[in-house]
A and B are shown apart, each in its own frame.
Chain A
Amino acid sequence: AQSVSQHNHHVILSEAASLELGCNYSYGGTVNLFWYVQYPGQHLQLLLKYFSGDPLVKGIKGFEAEFIKSKFSFNLRKPSVQWSDTAEYFCAVSPGSGGYNKLIFGAGTRLAVHP
Chain B
Amino acid sequence: AAGVIQSPRHLIKEKRETATLKCYPIPRHDTVYWYQQGPGQDPQFLISFYEKMQSDKGSIPDRFSAQQFSDYHSELNMSSLELGDSALYFCASSGRGGNEQFFGPGTRLTVL
Contacts and interface: CB of A to CB of B under 8 A. Distances in A.
Partners in one complex: yes
Interface residues of B, number: 26
A100 B55 contact: yes
A99 interface: yes
B64 interface: no
A90 B43 contact: yes
B68 interface: no
26 contacts: A32-B99, A42-B105, A43-B90, A45-B103, A46-B100, A46-B102, A49-B100, A51-B99, A90-B43, A94-B99, A99-B94, A99-B99, A100-B48, A100-B50, A100-B56, A100-B94, A100-B98, A102-B45, A102-B58, A103-B33, A103-B43, A103-B92, A105-B43, A105-B44, A106-B42, A107-B42
A46 B92 CA distance: 12
B31 interface: yes
Contacts, number: 54
A49 B31 CA distance: 19
A51 B31 CA distance: 19
A108 B97 contact: no
A98 interface: yes
